[in-house]
Structure 1
Amino acid sequence: MNSVTAINANPVAYQALAAAFRAEDTEVLFALLGDGNMHWAASLTDLGVRGVYARHEHAACAMATMYARATGKVGVASVTCGPGLTQIMTALTTAVQARIPLVIFAGESPMHAGFYNQHVEQRPLVVATGAHYITAHSLPRMTDYVREAFFLARTERMPVVIGVPLDLQKQMLPKPYDYAPSSSVIPRTGRVMPNETDVDRVVNAIKASKRVVVVAGLGALYSGAQLDCEALAEACDGMLATTLPARGMFDHHPFGIGISGGYCRATGHRLMQEADLLIAVGASLAHFTTDGGKLFSKAQKVQIDTQPLGLKHGRQAADIYLRADAVEGIRAVLDKLPKEGSQRNWRSDALATEIADAPADPTTFPPQPGFIDPRDAVAAIDRVVPKDWEVINSSGHCAYFTAQLRGRRPENFNVIRDFGAIGNGLSYAMGAAVAKPDRTIVLLDGDGSLLMHAQELETVRRHGLKMLICVLNDGAYGSEIHKMHSDAISDEGAVHGRGDLAAVARGFGLRGRTLNSSDQFELAFQEFLEVGPGAELWDIHVADNVTTPVMRAHMSH
C-alpha cells in the first residue's frame, strides 16, 4: 500500500502503530506475545496480517530473518520487553551480519512505573549486536518511528528494533492518524553505472592474466547477472564459482567449479589456487569466500560491486575496484575486451569431465557399521529430493557436507551462517515455509543444532507447515569433538548420544523415522510423498569419524 492510509481519528498508540506496520506491506508477523506487545500484535492481526507464534523469541526473530531472505521483503517480528528482547540477541546479531532487513516491535517497561520486574536498558543490548534501536517515547511522533524503521531496514539492509513503553502504547495520539509509508520517501534511482577509467583497469588486468576465476555473490544474483558472468568467464577462458549463499548458480555449466572458500570442492580448490586473477561480482570477498586469504594467494583481485570495500575482515578486499551494478559493470568490461577470443586455453574437455565427476572430498575414512558416511547421506538426499524443492542449509560441522548438493538453483537454496551460530536451522526452515506455502521445505541440519530449539517442532505442527527435516545425527557437537580429539582433551562436554530424534518428532505430533543405511532413502521419500502434506523428521545416524576439509585444515595448524 503506497498511498497515505487513514484510520479513525485519534486512535490509541498501539492501534496506530499496527496500522502503520500494515501500511508498510507487512503480511506476516513472527512473534511470541507478552504484556509489552500483545495489544499491538492483536491489532495487527485484526488488520489481516498473518500471525505465526513461536515457542521461543529467538525462533521468532530467526523465522523473520529467513522470511525476509526468501521473499525480498522486510521481515517483521515482535517480542515483549526485558527477557523477551534479551532472548533474541544471537538471532539479531546473525541478521545484522547477513544484512537482513528486519523491523522488530519490542515492548519497553512502563515509563512511569517506580518498579517493573522485566526492566532492562534495551538500547545498549540491541546496539551491541549492530542493529539500530529506535526509542519510541514521543506520542506525536509515534507513527514516524515506524516509517523511519522501515526506511532504514530497506535502504541500509539492516535490522531495526522499535522499543515502545507499555504505558505509552495505551495512550491516545494527540493528533489524527495520518501515515505515508517509507516507500513514498525512498529515492528511486537506476542501476549504478561504471566509471570508464576503472573499467580500463579491469580490462588491463584481464589482458595480463592467464587463469581467471569469476566468483558471483548475492549481488550478482539480485542483479540478474548470471549470463553476464558466464559471458565474462567465456571471454577469459576462465572458471565460474560462487559464494556460499549463491551456490548452484553455475552447476549447469561445464566450468562451474562450485563454492569459493572453505566449502569448495577438491577440484575447485586446486583451480582457485592456480588462478592469477579473481573477479568478484556482487561479492564482498569476505574471510569465508577466500578461505582466509589462502585460496587466491597467487591472484590479483578485482571487485565489481555497488559498494566495494577496501577492507573486509581484516584483509585488503581487492586490488582493483569497479563501482557498478553487476550487469552494467560486466558489460562495460566486455565491450572493451578484444573480440578475437581468449588464447589462454585453461579450459579443456578433460577438465570439464573432472569438474563433473570428481567427488567434492575424496578422502577415505574407516567405515562404521550401522552408521552412514555423511557424504553418502547427503548424496542420497540429493538423489531422491527433486532439484526444484526449497532447501535450507544450517550451520555446524555438517554444513559442509550439505552444501555439496548439485544442480539446485541458488533461489531454492537458502543459507544464512554469517555469525557461525548453530541452532537457527529449524527456525529458518519455518520462515521459508511461511514465505513459500506452496512449496515443501527441506531442512538439512545437525542434531546439536536441532535440539537447541526442538520445541519449535510443535510450532511446525500447529501452523501446518510442509517440511522434511533431515538431521545428520552424530550424537555430538561435531566441530567440537574433532577439535577436542585433535587437541588431546576430553570430549565429554560435547558428546550427548544420538537418542531417538524420530520419537521426539512424533512426540510433537509430526512423523518421524530413523535411517542408518544409504539404501533406505528411496523408500523413505516415497512414503513421505504418499502420506501427503505435513512435516516429517528423518533421524539420519551418521558416522562420527568423517571430518570435513575445513576441519582437517583447522586441526593441521
Structure 2
Amino acid sequence: MLVAEAVGRTLVAAGVDHVFGVVGSGNFHVTNAMVASGAWFVAARHEGGGATMADAYARTAGRPAALSVHQGCGLTNAMTGIGEAAKSRTPLVVLAAEATNRASNFFVDQDALARSVGAVPMRITDPQYAVAQAREAVATAVHRRRTVVLNLPLEVQGAEVPERPSPGGVPSQVQDLADFVPPEPPRPLAPSSADVERLVSALRLAQRPVFVAGRGARSPAARDALVALADETGALLATSAVAKGLFHDSPWSLDVSGGFSSPLAAELIREADLIVGWGCVLNMWTMRHGALIGPDTTVVQVDDTEAALGAQRELTFGVLGDVTTTAGATLTALTRSTTDAPGGDAAGGHTAYSWRSDDLRERLARELAWRTVPFEDTSGGGRIDPRTLTIALDDLLPRERVVGVDSGNFMGYPSMFLSVPDEQGFCFTQAFQAIGLGLATTIGAALAQPDRLPVAALGDGGALMGAAELDTVRRLGLPMVVVVYNDDAYGAEVHHFASGDHPMDTVTFPDTDIAAIARGYGFTGVTVRDIDDLAPVRAWLDGPRETPLLIDAKVVADEPSWWLEEAFRGH
C-alpha cells in the first residue's frame, strides 16, 4: 500500500465521508483512495469553491469534511475558503499535495500559508507513521475544532507503507489501519463550581436577562439546555448570525442579535440588565459596536476556549466551560439553591419570568419579524425593492429550506426576511467577509441537507465571482434556487463612499444579464423587475424542478442596507 492510499483510507475510517476539491497530479491518488473507501468526491470548478463547499458541508452536517488540492497553486487558489473555515473553527482537513523541492514551479511555503489564515499546518513525514499522522490530523480537526492543512509531500505519498514492524517496534501501519478505531473525543469541559455560582448569582439578580447563543451553541443538546435555563430564569433568547434559527420554535426568541436585529429585538436587548453570550464572542457585529449593551448591563461570556473569553469585548466575568455542560450545571445549581432557600423563590432571590408576560409574547409574535416593520416600497423604473422581493420569495418558497448567503450590501435582506426552520437551515460563511463564497456555501449546505430546498442569496458581484460553480450545481442535479440581488455595482462601496464627491466608475458596472449566463449553464433563468415577474418562479416550484433556477432580480440600486449603513457609522 502506498502512503497516498493509506492516508485516504484513514480519513474515511475516521468518519470523513465527503471530500471536495479539484484533482491534479499531486492529489490524484489520495482522492481516489478516499472514493474507493466509500467517500463521495464532489468536484468543484475552482479550488476556492471546493474549500467553501467543504466548510459549509461540515458546518451543516455537523461532521468533518475534507478538501483535496494540488500542490502549490491548488492550495493558493483555495486560501480564501480555507481562511474562512479557519476563522470559523470548522473541523476540516485540507489534503494538500506538497512540492518540497525549491526548484519546482509548484513550491511555496505551505506551512506559512496555513498559519497566515489561522489554520493548523501538519505533515505526513514518514511512510511508517503515515496512518498515525493522518489520524492525528482528523482528531485535531474534530476534537479541537480546527481547520488542518495536512501537507502530503510528493515523494512521501509515492512511498510504500511498511508491512512489518520496524526495528523500533512501530506496529505495521497496514494492520493498524485495518484495526482502526476513531479517536475518542475529549470530555466536554465542565465549568468550575465558583464560575457556576457567579453565573447563578447574576441570574438571580437579573430582572431582564437575554441569552445570545453563537457558533458554540449550534447543537440540539445545547439548544435544549439553554431553553430549559431560559425558561427557569425568564431570559429572552437571541443568536448571533451564524446560529440563526436555533430558537425558531420558541415564543421568546428575538432571532438575531446585532446589525440584523429588528427594531423590537434591538429595543429589548438594549433593555437587558444581563447579557450572557453562550459560545458567542459578542463582537462588534453581534452587539452593534456595543450599542446594544446598556451602561449598567452585566455582560457574561461562556466559552470552552480560554483565549476567546473577553477577546472581543470587556466582560463583567467569563465562564470557562462547554455550553451544554455549563447551562445544565447552572440550571441544577439554580433550582437547588432556590428550592433549598427558606420561603422558596422570594427568599432565594430568584426572579423568574420577570419580563416574560402575555403582552410581550403577543408583541413578539406581532412585531418581531422584519417583514412586519412598515417600509415605503421603492420599486419602480424597472427595479424592485429588495424588501418587497424577499418577502414575496419567503411566501413562495417551501418552509423546509437551507439558505446560504453571500456577503455585500444586499445580505441583510435574505438573512432577515427569509425564515429558516432551524439552525441547520442557515449557512453563513462571513468570518472573512469575502464576497463570492455564497454559491459554494449553498452547494455544501445542500449536500448536508438533501431533503430541503437549497436557496443561494447572492449579490451580482459575488454571483459573477463564483459563476464557475453554477456548473457544479447543474452537474450534481441540485434543485437549487439562486437569487441574485443585482444592482450592477459593488453596493457596499457605493453606499460607503456616497457621502463624498467621489467617482464611482470603479465600483459600478453596465447591466449584466445574469439570467442568460445561468441558462448557458443549464439553469432556468428568470429576470425579475417587479412583483409580477415572479410568476415563473411559482411555475418552477410547482413543476418537476428538473433544472436549477436562477432569479436575476434587478433591485433598487440606491437602497443601502440598514445593517451596513450602521456598521459604517461604527455604531
**What's the TM-score once normalised by structure 2's chain length?**
0.88
The residue identity in structure 1 corresponding to 2:256 is: I
Match of 2:304 among 294, 303, 306: 306
Query: SS at 1:289's partner residue?
Result: coil
TM-aligned CA distance change 1:373 to 1:173, over 3 Å: same
Q: After the TM superposition, which of the residue ranges 375-384 and 546-555 deviates more from structure 2?
A: 546-555
**Is the CA contact (8 Å cut-off) linking 1:444 and 1:470 kept in structure 2?**
yes
Letter in 1 for 2:328: E
Structure 1 residues 278-289: aligned runs within 5 Å: 278-289=275-286
CA distance 1:251–1:486, change in 2 (3 Å): farther
Give the Cα–Cα distance (whole angstroms) in 1 for the partners of residues 218 and 566 of structure 2: 30
Taking a change above 3 Å as real, the CA distance of residues 317 and 539 of structure 1, as seen in their structure-2 partners, is farther
CA deviations on 1:199-246 (whole Å, 9 max, x unpaired) are 332232223332221222233332524344334334444422111122
1:403 corresponds in structure 2 to 415
RMSD after superposition:
2.6
Structure 1 moving runs of 4+ over 6 Å: none
- Which of 444, 456, 461 is the aligned partner of 1:448? 461
Cα drift, residue 78 of structure 1? 0.7
Given residue 21 of structure 1, which amino acid in structure 2 is its aligned partner?
L
From 286, 291, 294, the equivalent of 2:288 is 291
Q: Percent identity?
A: 30
State the 1:322 CA deviation: 6.0
Give yes or no for contact 1:477–1:495 (8 Å, CA) kept in 2.
yes
Whole-Å separation in 2 of the counterparts to 1:12 and 1:301: 54
How far is 1:300 from its partner? 0.5
Question: Secondary structure, in 3 states, of the residue corresponding to 1:43?
Answer: helix
CA distance, structure 1, for counterparts of residue 219 and residue 402 of structure 2: 18
Q: Give the one of 192, 195, 220 matched to 2:192.
A: 195
Q: Deviations over 1:515-557 (max 9, x none)?
A: 1222443551332330324311111111112222222224546
Indicate the residue corresponding to 1:516 in structure 2. Answer: 529
Structure 1 residues 150 and 239: CA distance shift in structure 2, 3 A: same
Matching residue of 1:484: 497
Q: Determine whether 1:244 maps to 2:245.
A: no
Superposed displacement of residue 331, structure 1: 1.8
1:346 is matched by which residue type in structure 2? W
Q: Tell me the amino acid that sits aligned with residue 300 of structure 1.
A: T
Q: Residues 287 and 313 of structure 1 are in contact (CA less than 8 Å); yes or no, is this contact kept in structure 2?
A: no
Q: How many residues align?
A: 545
TM-aligned CA deviation for residue 383 of structure 1: 0.9
Give 1:369's aligned residue: 381
Structure 2 contact 93–138 (Cα < 8 Å) conserved: yes
Query: What's the TM-score, normalizing by structure 1?
Result: 0.90
Partner Cα separation in structure 2 for residue 313 and residue 423 of structure 1 = 28
1:179 equivalent to 2:176? Answer yes
User: Hey, what does 2:158 align to over in structure 1?
Assistant: 170
Partner residue, 2:94: 104
Question: In the alignment, residue 428 of structure 1 is paired with which amino acid?
Answer: T
Counterpart-to-counterpart distance in 1, 2:568 and 2:93: 40
Which stretch of the first structure deviates more once superposed, 319-328 or 498-507? 319-328
Match of 1:437 in 2: 450
Separation in structure 1 between the aligned mates of residue 330 and residue 365 of structure 2, nearest angstrom: 27
More divergent stretch after superposition (410-419 vs 234-243): 234-243
Contact 1:17 1:142 in 2 (8 A): yes
Q: 1:346 aligns with which of 331, 350, 355?
A: 355
What does 1:255-294 align with in structure 2 at a 5 Å threshold?
255-294=252-291
* 2:436–2:463 Cα contact (<8 Å) kept: yes
CA contact under 8 A between 2:405 and 2:415: conserved in structure 1? yes
Most deviating of 511-520 and 49-58: 511-520
Aligned partner (choices 79, 87, 92) of residue 69 of structure 2:
79
Judge conservation of contact 2:191–2:319 (CA < 8 Å) in 1: no
Q: 1:122 and 1:354 mapped to 2: Cα distance?
A: 54
Q: Distance in 2 between matches of 1:433 and 1:473?
A: 23
Give 1:80 deviation, angstroms: 0.5
Question: In the TM superposition, what whole-angstrom CA distance separates every residue of 1:254-301 from its partner, at most 9, and x where no partner exists?
Answer: 332221111111111111111111122332323322222221133111
Q: Does 1:418 align with 2:445?
A: no
CA distance in 2, matches of 1:282, 1:255: 19
Change (3 A) 1:485 1:12: same
Gap change, CA 1:504 and 1:121, over 3 Å in 2:
same
Match of 1:4?
Answer: none
The answer on whether the counterparts of 2:489 and 2:508 sit within 8 Å (CA) in structure 1 is yes
**Does residue 207 of structure 2 align to residue 210 of structure 1?**
yes
Cα offsets for 1:294-353 (capped at 9, x unmatched): 211331112334345564444224525263543413423541346467477534444434
Structure 2, gaps ≥5 residues long: 165-173, 339-343
Q: Which amino acid aligns with 1:470?
A: V
1:127 maps onto 2:115 in alignment = yes
User: Do the aligned partners of residues 61 and 449 (structure 1) sit closer, same or farther apart at CA in structure 2, a change above 3 Å counting?
Assistant: same
Question: Given the alignment of the two structures, is residue 394 of structure 1 paired with residue 406 of structure 2, yes or no?
Answer: yes
In structure 2, C-alpha distance between the alignment counterparts of 1:321 and 1:343, rounded to whole Å = 22
| Partner SS state of residue 119, structure 1 | coil
Provide closer, same or farther for how the CA distance between residues 76 and 225 of structure 1 changes in structure 2, counting only shifts above 3 A.
closer
1:155 to 143, 166, 173: 143
Q: Is the counterpart of residue 62 in structure 1 residue 52 in structure 2?
A: yes
* 1:133 alignment partner AA: P
5+ unaligned residues in a row in structure 1: which ranges? Answer: 1-10
Question: What residue number does 2:169 align with?
Answer: none
Distance 1:52 1:407, change over 3 A: closer
Q: Indicate conservation of the 8 Å contact 1:37/1:107, yes or no.
A: yes
CA distance in 2, matches of 1:192, 1:459: 40
* 8 Å CA contact retained: 2:398, 2:453: no
- Tell me what 1:232 maps to: 229
The question of whether the paired residues in 1 share the 8 Å contact of 2:400 and 2:452 is answered with no
Letter of the structure 1 residue corresponding to residue 389 of structure 2: A
Q: Bigger CA drift: 399-408 or 466-475?
A: 399-408
Separation (CA, whole Å) in 1 of partners of 2:504 and 2:535: 35
1:41-93 CA-to-partner distances (Å, cap 9, x unmatched) read: 23332333222111111111111111111111111111101111111111111
C-alpha distance 23-366 of structure 1, shift in aligned 2 (>3 A)? closer
Between the aligned partners of 1:16 and 1:227, the Cα distance in structure 2 is 40
Letter in 2 for 1:168: V
Q: Secondary structure at the match of 1:494?
A: coil
Residue 8 of structure 1 aligns with which residue?
none
